[in-house]
Structures are given as structure tokens and as C-alpha cells.
Amino acid sequence: MYHSIAEGSEDPYTVPPNKFEEQLSWLIERGFEAVSLATIVNLLKIGEYKSLRTKIVFTFDDGYKDFLTTALPILLHYKVPATVFIVAGMLGDKVSWNSHSKHAQLMSEDEIRHIKAQGVSLGSHTMTHSNLAKVDEKKVYQELVDSHITLRDLGESFYALSYPWGQWTNQVLNAVKVAGYECAVTASRKMPLGATEYYCLPRVGIKGDMNLKSFQTLFDGSAIEFARKVGRVVKNFLQ
């Protein structure tokens, strides 16, 4: 899970471009296959849990403009697919929810359409980056339904959600399903108790101060066990 790819940021979740390319290159050299989020969900649905061990998905939350200017050229060079979770009601605005990135620019609608044309998948990060666990039911549905409509209008056909702030409740999870999303991802490496099918898929967050050795420790030693656990937990919920 990435956010911003840029130089000189105070945001701990902004990864410098050289580190990002180094991480991506290392994963490919290690034999990991980068696939779409839709591919992962389809593999889970048909019970291909073992194949998860060599699959990775690159996701980017928020829709920073530097995805277009910095991350996308690197992804295209390595022929790596990615999903960008956009804050659908704030396209083209400046970031307002992160004190470390208040001057950072989000991609505009035209820029979002451009990356979509380049093969990037789009997902929802709600309309306003609201913490869905802390707003009323009406607001939850408004955030989910309106951003779902935006994804459709942008040409997306696989509907995925990233929970802002990584927060959700059982009521929110049910609303995500009712709103028509096919999966949702969290900000945690663990599949939470009470998770339902594909609506609390875990992710590994990458920070800007992470050196390659630390990155390798995250994936090289634990990736197989991590994938095995994901497959096992999802399998148990589907039985």
C-alpha cells in the first residue's frame, strides 16, 4: 500500500521515487507477479489460494498527482498494473486531511481519465476521505454510493473500496456490499475477526523511511506465510 511517490516530503507515507523503483525491481527479481486487485479476488473466489503466494498488488491511496507524474512512468516501464483509490469528491483539490501533505495536489478528472487509459484500475476512497466508522448511516451510504457512481462514470467496471483511515464497522461493511462494491481493502496486515469474504482484505503499508533491507524483511521472509494466512482465512469464511 502506497500513498505518495515524491522527493522531499515530511509525510512519513511519501516514498522517494528511487526507493519505489528499487522496491518494485526487487520484487520482480524475486519472482513475484504483479496482478490486478480483480485478479486476486477472482483467485479467491475459485479457491486458488496457493497461487496467492507469488502474487502482489500495487495499490495507491488518495490519488496524489505525483502518481501520474512520478509513479506511473516507473510502473509502465516495468509493465506493472496498479489500482489508485481516489477521493472522488475532491478531484483536482489539495489534500486537506493530512497535515504533512496539505499542499499536495490530487489528480483532476482529466488526469484520472488519462491514467485509466494507461491501464490503471480505479477504486473508491469515498467522496471526502471521511472516517466511515465515525459518521452516521446516511453519510456512509452517501460516501459509498456517490463514489461508486463516479467510478462508473470514469469507466471502471470492477468496484473496490479502500477504507479511509483504515476504519470500518460491521455496519459499514454491510453498507459496502449493499452499495455494490466487489471488495474492500484495509490498512492492516491482519485479516480482522468478523471479516466477511472480500471486504476486509489486508495490505502491507510502505513508509518513506523504509530502506531496502527492511522492505525485503517485510516480503522475503513473510510474504509466503502472509499469503497463506489470507487464503486460509478467506477460505474459512466462504465454507
The pLDDT tens digits of the residues spanning 94-141 come to 998 887 776 799 999 999 999 999 999 999 999 999 999 999 999 999
What is residue 47's predicted lDDT score, i.e. its pLDDT? 85
Instruction: Report the CATH number at residue 141.
Output: 3.20.20.370
Nearest to 237 by CA among 200, 201, 199, 195: 195
Q: pLDDT band for position 223 (50/70/90)?
A: very low
For residues 141-177, one letter each, b for 16 or more C-beta atoms within 10 angstroms of the residue's C-beta and e for the rest, the string is ebbbbbbbebbeebebebbbbbbbebebeeebbebbb
Query: What is the structure's pLDDT at 238?
Result: 47
Q: What is the CA radius of gyration of the chain?
A: 17
Question: What digits encode the pLDDT tens for the residues 1-14?
Answer: 999 999 988 899 99
Number of domains in the chain: 1
pLDDT tens digits for range 18-66: 999 999 999 999 999 999 999 999 998 888 888 888 899 999 999 999 9
Q: Which domain holds residue 62?
A: 4-238
